[in-house]
Structure 1
Amino acid sequence: MNTARTPLITFLFTLFLLGATGTANAQFLKKLGKAAERAAKRTVENRVERETSKKTDAALDSILEPGSKKKGKAPQEPQPEALPRDNNPNGSAPVPGDQSAPPPTSNENNNNLKVYSKFDFVAGDKLLFFDDFENDFLGDFPSKWNTDGGGEVVQVTGSDQKWLQLKMASYYIPDVPDLPEEYTIEFDVLPLGLDKQTSSSAKLHVILDDSDAFGYGKNSVYAYLPFVQYIASGIRIWGQANGKRILDNTITADVREEMRNAPHISIAVNKERFRLWINETKYLDVPRIVTPNIINTLKFEAKGFKDGEEQLLLSNIKVKAGGVDLRRKLMSEGKVSTNGILFNSGSAKLQPASMGIIRQVSQVLLEDASLNLKIVGHTDSDGPEEANLALSQERAAAVKSALTSVYGIDASRLTTGGKGEREPVAPNDSPNGKAQNRRVEFIKQ
């Protein structure tokens, strides 16, 4: 071991063995110089070289995570690798899917679903693109994307979820096939470091364009998602056709709380029509802005965030063709399958954004009192087969519960079952294939 680092290591060990508290750790981190911080990081990375107790090892991990702030300046927000596991104590963005938090009670879950009971977004029925960066290494730029400015895959403490960390004023283009006339886009956003000094220019631009080049072409649609916290800046929508601006408007809305708390963004394009939801609320519905058959590329651009202090992360980017009318298909074909009903990883807890599809199914049942349905769950192949079978059954039961408790459907009209991983519709060797296999079927009885 490099003896030059010995005093630092000894000091750290002494600090923890004297019973330093979480508050003391935070104070220590604020005062830690950059050179000492880098040495401490190397100490953690090379801790196999020494024999220490598990207790001391864990203590080191608790403060010497990568991504701390500059010397002498208290961090405004933990960096991606050091996001705390607690429940948003200082207004920081929560970790989506963090299983360290206590699970909600059934009543809490039902109340959460009821908030989404009027959510009318329905995802497309054919998966074109999905990326949760599962197959990318931390620190690398993701393999299914292009950019003119760099970026890297990161994780946040307390979650296995991977995210793409964006650099400012750079374009990010996922490898989505040419967009059809009708399609949907979904993704999760995780901002870090937002506070009252966050600039009013801090925005994520979601871009639909006629070119896969960086920048924008003659036919474009921009939706500007704001992250400023000291004012309610609204949501801007901008579009041009053949190089001529056809729309530039800002919709009045206070979305500050939503945008700082890891929102789920949903977009639906139906020929010329463009709609955008933040969580369960629809904020944009413009009937004529998209130039059909010409606009075919999805892009992202982040602007206005303070380098080193604020960050913007994306994950779970999903693009689907169509926007199937489940009601019509169920009545005409007697069966419909969807992977737009989403659950927390490894659990049967419904994600509220799934309620658009469940709402459509409830409308079919309310319109035809003689109709009964069987709900069948399917999973991907991750995990033991028996566990997946049980999970698929539990997920089908969760959908039934939502139909009965949120929409008032008589439980006697619904039966449930599960097939686990036994009937895949795509290979389970990629995120795309797994996403297609995680699905729910509704079958007329």
Structure 2
Amino acid sequence: MNRIKIFPKVILSFLLLFFVCSEVQGQILKKLGKRAERAVERTVENRVDREASKKTDEVLDSILEPGSKGPSTNPQVGNPLPPAGPENPGGSIGNSKDMPSKGGVKTIEVYSKFDYVPGDKLLFYDDFGNDFVGDFPSKWNTNAGGEIITMGDSPQKWLELKAGYNIYFIPDVPKLPEEYTIEFDIMGRGVQKTSSTAHLRVDLSDDEKFKEGTNFVQAHIPFCQYTPVGITIENRINNKREIRSTIKADIRDAILNKAHISIAVNKQRFRLWVNESKYIDVPRMAPEGAILHTLKFHANNFKDGQEQVFITNLKVAEGGLDLRRKLISEGSVSTNGILFDSGSANIQPQSMGIIRQISQVLQQEQGMNLMIEGHTDADGQENTNLALSQKRALAVKEALVSVYGIDGSRLRTDGKGETEPVGDNTTPDGKAQNRRVVFKKI
């Protein structure tokens, strides 16, 4: 009898609990609705981007990776760095799978219009190959500190730049001429919540030591992740500021996945690219008549021990001029600006500016035929380097034919391997000079 009386009470309690829980659950779901909706949208967008990237990579590989049967796979899953090695200063950044793009899929059209051309006379190169991990690099100076590190399984060495007020890192670059180019790779780690003011500053200054100088040009490369800050440029001419502006640029993904920075200075003109995108082109940025002969780096507003800034593969070269005129007037041009993946003939996309200029000469000079020669450094076996140089020359030819529509019958290829060095193969500078492609009229 007691059980019969208790049973309805239990049922009633369960019903009340069910309705209360349902109401609470409804309130929670209502609050989370918009957030969940946004999460679903992001997931769908990411899925579409991945599928589109996969298809685009197949097309890119057929042109930029001769001999590939399809999308390549990366054996270093989880490693933030693409493969690097003596033949590849910094690893390939050629495929969208290696360098995610927040703005969408990169295309061959982007690569084919990339107009950066590096200088042809090497002044300085450092990948820290001759330095020990844990040391400060032997070819740099600073008024603070820093050390060489490696990441994951990659042999690539990086210099960690210490952040702080009036702290500078100065490579032993000879005094900069009027026309030159600068290239380097940078990456941030632990910067997901970094300040919107955190940046790596590149200085071109008339001061040789640890001051801004009376005359300078600066580019502030942002590391902030929660909002696209943009790239700020500033100059001073006789201690008077003439330019300070911020150019819209969302480079957040690039910073996390290793960004390749290219800078070209042609007298007063200053241009800057991040990967294949040009963000800055100011015709009168540098002071007229005052040569900014010193290159410096300065990291600021990073939390010590939590947020890290790294740099590697610094290359400074005199020139960066129009190779087209030189090829037409002299009949030959040599460049170490065409880069390849380590131990392969895969052309890195930042090299397309040079190949583009060669194609323009051939399109204008319809009667011109070219010999394309590949050269390597002396690392590895001599016969391997000879075969590699031949494949690289052929890859350049195929890019001219496939991307720019040049008639292949006008192009011949040859590989010299390591047999004709122009630099010392025991130093990073010398090796960089020896890794080159030569174009000759025939």
TM-score computed with the length of structure 1 as normaliser: 0.76
Which stretches in structure 1 are left out of the alignment for 5+ residues? 1-83, 89-93
Which of 221, 244, 247 is the matching residue for 2:243? 247
- Residue 344 of structure 1 corresponds to which residue in structure 2? 341
Does 1:428 find its partner at 2:428?
A: no
What amino acid sits opposite 1:377 in the alignment?
G
Deviation for aligned residue 1:114 = 4.4
Deviation for aligned residue 1:366 = 1.0
Which of 87, 93, 96 is the matching residue for 2:82? 96
Deviation for aligned residue 1:414 = 1.2
Higher relative CO (CA 8 A, sep ≥ 6), structure 1 or 2?
2
- Residue 86 of structure 1 corresponds to which residue in structure 2? 77
Which of 151, 154, 166 is the matching residue for 1:156? 151
- Matching of residues 323-342 of structure 1 within 5 Å: 323-342=320-339
How far does the alpha carbon of each residue in 1:8-32 deviate from its partner, in whole angstroms, 9 at most, with x for none? xxxxxxxxxxxxxxxxxxxxxxxxx
Give the Cα separation in 1 of the matches to 2:232 and 2:426.
39
Give the Cα separation in 2 of the matches to 1:122 and 1:358.
9
Give the Cα separation in 2 of the matches to 1:363 and 1:105.
22
- Residue 137 of structure 2 corresponds to which residue in structure 1? 142
**Aligned-CA RMSD value:** 2.2
Deviation for aligned residue 1:246 = 1.0
- Residue 225 of structure 1 corresponds to which residue in structure 2? 221
1:98–1:158 CA contact under 8 A, matched in 2:
no
Give the Cα separation in 2 of the matches to 1:168 and 1:145.
16
Give the Cα separation in 2 of the matches to 1:441 and 1:105.
22
Give the Cα separation in 2 of the matches to 1:413 and 1:112.
27
What amino acid sits opposite 1:281 in the alignment?
S
Does 1:281 find its partner at 2:277?
A: yes
Give the Cα separation in 2 of the matches to 1:397 and 1:206.
37
Deviation for aligned residue 1:329 = 1.1
- Residue 362 of structure 1 corresponds to which residue in structure 2? 359
User: Sequence identity of aligned pairs in percent?
Assistant: 60
How far does the alpha carbon of each residue in 1:225-256 deviate from its partner, in whole angstroms, 9 at most, with x for none? 01111111111000001111111111122222
Does 1:383 find its partner at 2:374?
A: no
- Residue 10 of structure 1 corresponds to which residue in structure 2? none
Deviation for aligned residue 1:371 = 1.6
Q: In 2 relative to 1, CA 104–192 (structure 1 residues): closer, same or farther, beyond 3 Å?
A: closer
Give the Cα separation in 2 of the matches to 1:253 and 1:286.
16
Name the SS for the 1:360 alignment partner.
helix
Give the Cα separation in 1 of the matches to 2:395 and 2:409.
15
Give the Cα separation in 1 of the matches to 2:293 and 2:366.
42
1:183–1:270 CA contact under 8 A, matched in 2:
yes
Give the Cα separation in 2 of the matches to 1:421 and 1:307.
45
Which of 158, 162, 165 is the matching residue for 1:167? 162
What amino acid sits opposite 1:247 in the alignment?
I
Deviation for aligned residue 1:113 = 5.2
Q: In 2 relative to 1, CA 108–382 (structure 1 residues): closer, same or farther, beyond 3 Å?
A: same
Q: In 2 relative to 1, CA 105–264 (structure 1 residues): closer, same or farther, beyond 3 Å?
A: closer
Which of 116, 121, 142 is the matching residue for 1:121? 116
- Residue 194 of structure 2 corresponds to which residue in structure 1? 198
Deviation for aligned residue 1:406 = 1.2
Give the Cα separation in 2 of the matches to 1:108 and 1:245.
41
- Matching of residues 31-110 of structure 1 within 5 Å: 85-87=76-78, 94-97=80-83
Deviation for aligned residue 1:108 = 9.3
- Residue 50 of structure 1 corresponds to which residue in structure 2? none
Give the Cα separation in 1 of the matches to 2:379 and 2:265.
32
Deviation for aligned residue 1:115 = 2.9
What amino acid sits opposite 2:111 in the alignment?
Y
2:338–2:436 CA contact under 8 A, matched in 1:
yes
Give the Cα separation in 2 of the matches to 1:98 and 1:312.
19
Q: In 2 relative to 1, CA 105–95 (structure 1 residues): closer, same or farther, beyond 3 Å?
A: closer
TM-score computed with the length of structure 2 as normaliser: 0.76
How far does the alpha carbon of each residue in 1:253-307 deviate from its partner, in whole angstroms, 9 at most, with x for none? 2222222221100000011111000011110011112124431100001112222
Which stretches in structure 2 are left out of the alignment for 5+ residues? 1-74, 86-91, 99-105
What amino acid sits opposite 1:131 in the alignment?
D
Give the Cα separation in 2 of the matches to 1:423 and 1:415.
19
Q: In 2 relative to 1, CA 194–168 (structure 1 residues): closer, same or farther, beyond 3 Å?
A: same
2:178–2:291 CA contact under 8 A, matched in 1:
no
What amino acid sits opposite 2:134 in the alignment?
G
Name the SS for the 2:404 alignment partner.
coil
Computing the radius of gyration from Cα coordinates, the structure with the larger value is: 2
- Residue 415 of structure 2 corresponds to which residue in structure 1? 418
Which of 200, 210, 235 is the matching residue for 1:214? 210
- Residue 391 of structure 2 corresponds to which residue in structure 1? 394
Q: In 2 relative to 1, CA 380–98 (structure 1 residues): closer, same or farther, beyond 3 Å?
A: closer
Q: In 2 relative to 1, CA 131–245 (structure 1 residues): closer, same or farther, beyond 3 Å?
A: same
Deviation for aligned residue 1:106 = 11
- Residue 13 of structure 1 corresponds to which residue in structure 2? none
- Residue 262 of structure 1 corresponds to which residue in structure 2? 258
How far does the alpha carbon of each residue in 1:305-349 deviate from its partner, in whole angstroms, 9 at most, with x for none? 222222111010000111232111111111111111111222211
Give the Cα separation in 2 of the matches to 1:239 and 1:104.
31
Q: In 2 relative to 1, CA 255–420 (structure 1 residues): closer, same or farther, beyond 3 Å?
A: same
Give the Cα separation in 2 of the matches to 1:371 and 1:117.
21
1:136–1:142 CA contact under 8 A, matched in 2:
yes
1:378–1:420 CA contact under 8 A, matched in 2:
yes
- Residue 189 of structure 1 corresponds to which residue in structure 2? 186
Give the Cα separation in 2 of the matches to 1:145 and 1:308.
22
Deviation for aligned residue 1:398 = 1.1
Give the Cα separation in 2 of the matches to 1:239 and 1:151.
27
Give the Cα separation in 1 of the matches to 2:168 and 2:76.
31
1:380–1:435 CA contact under 8 A, matched in 2:
yes
Give the Cα separation in 1 of the matches to 2:142 and 2:320.
29
